Amino acid sequence: MSTNSTKPEEKGFFEKVKETIEELWDGTKDKAEDIKDTAVDTYDHLKDKVVAKKPAAVKKATAVKKTATAKVGSAVAKAKTAAAGVKAKAETKAKEVTAKAKKEVADVKAKASDKAKTISAKAKDETAKAKKAAAPTVAKAKSAAKKTVASH
């Protein structure tokens, strides 16, 4: 018979945590890229509008360009802040999960140690009882052996 299990291997706790963090990070990067693309599109759109206006409106176009630049800068700053916030949350969550896992492992080790001590003590008691019960039989066997040796 084969000793290989036909069941699929289950992922370990830390592999699940790692995948969750990677998913959060990928989602954050995608969101930041989307915001950046939107900001660039808005900037290009506003820039095209400014170029399309008449030369007499150069002063107004300069003001619009500054405003657009400020808005783009604001959008980029918001994206960076959001990404940093999500990253910080992911790191905090990972630390919490790791601490919880360590505590659970310690609890399991403590329980296993207590159980092993209990089993060891029980085995010692059983051995002592068995020796005590076997002592008369051993004594009889020794005396019978001595008689047999003495009679020969």
- Three-state SS annotation for the chain: CCCCCCCCCCCCHHHHHHHHHHHHHHHHHHHHHHHHHHHHHHHHHHHHHHHHCCHHHHHHHHHHHHHHHHHHHHHHHHHHHHHHHHHHHHHHHHHHHHHHHHHHHHHHHHHHHHHHHHHHHHHHHHHHHHHHHHHHHHHHHHHHHHHHHHHC
Residue 130 included in any domain: yes
Residue 78 belongs to domain spanning: 13-151
pTM of the entire predicted model:
0.35
State the average pLDDT over residues 63-76: 82
Query: What pLDDT is stored for residue 149 in this prediction?
Result: 81
Residue 139 lies in a domain: yes
- Residue 152: pLDDT band by 50, 70, 90 thresholds? low
Percent of the chain that is helix, strand, coil (3-state, to 5): 90, 0, 10
Q: 10 or 105: which carries more pLDDT confidence?
A: 105
The whole-number average pLDDT for the span 33-50 is 84
Q: Return the pLDDT at 51.
A: 64
Considering the domain boundaries, does residue 53 fall inside one? Answer: yes
- Does residue 66 sit within a domain? yes
Asked whether residue 4 is assigned to any structural domain, the reply reads no
CB 68 within 8 A of CB 43: yes
Distance CA 41, CA 45 (A): 6
Mean pLDDT of 89-104: 88
Distance of CA 121 to the CA centre of its chain: 37
Q: Are 79 and 37 in contact (CB under 8 A)?
A: no
In a domain, 8, yes or no: no
Tell whether 104 is covered by a domain.
yes
Residue 2 reports pLDDT greater than 60: no
Per-residue pLDDT averaged across 38-45, rounded? 86
Q: What's the CA gap between 78 and 42, in Å, rounded?
A: 15
pLDDT of 58 strictly over 60: no
pLDDT at 118: 92
Other C-beta atoms lying within 10 Å of the C-beta of residue 80: 13
User: Looking at the predicted structure, is the pLDDT value of residue 81 above 70?
Assistant: yes
For residue range 100-151, what is the model confidence (pLDDT) as tens digits? 888 998 998 989 889 989 999 999 999 998 888 888 888 888 888 888 887 7
Residue 125's pLDDT is what? 92
Instruction: Give domain status of residue 109, yes or no.
Output: yes
> How many domains are contained in the chain?
1
